[in-house]
Amino acid sequence: MPESHRYGYGPRLTALVGEWSGSQRNGLSAVQEFCASVLGVSISRGAIQGMVDRISEALMPLYDAIARQARSAPVNSVAEDT
């Protein structure tokens, strides 16, 4: 079985669930309802949480690299222009 289908959901649905739950800050129930009503995909909240967990794990090295770079930057604050 291809790596992308090992969990039963493909990379595009997983990415959409990640976007909808992470960037858009929707809860598991809202993501579940969106998948059912808009996409016609019946999915459990546990499966949604599993997708979110895998996305978080995959992104962790990027977050760590950004954090290291930010901590070592000579300037570490932002001032708004008014």
pLDDT by residue for the chain (82 residues), tens digit each?
A: 566 556 678 889 999 999 999 888 999 999 999 999 999 999 999 999 999 999 999 999 999 999 998 888 887 676 666 5
Which residue range forms the structural domain that includes residue 48? 3-65
pTM: 0.74
Q: Is residue 22 part of a domain?
A: yes
Q: Is residue 29 part of a domain?
A: yes
* Burial class, 43, CB count within 10 angstroms (exposed 0-12 / middle 13-18 / buried 19+): buried
Tell me what pLDDT residue 82 has: 56
Q: Is residue 46 part of a domain?
A: yes
Tell me what pLDDT residue 7 has: 66
8 Å CB contact between 19 and 35: no
Number of domains in the chain: 1
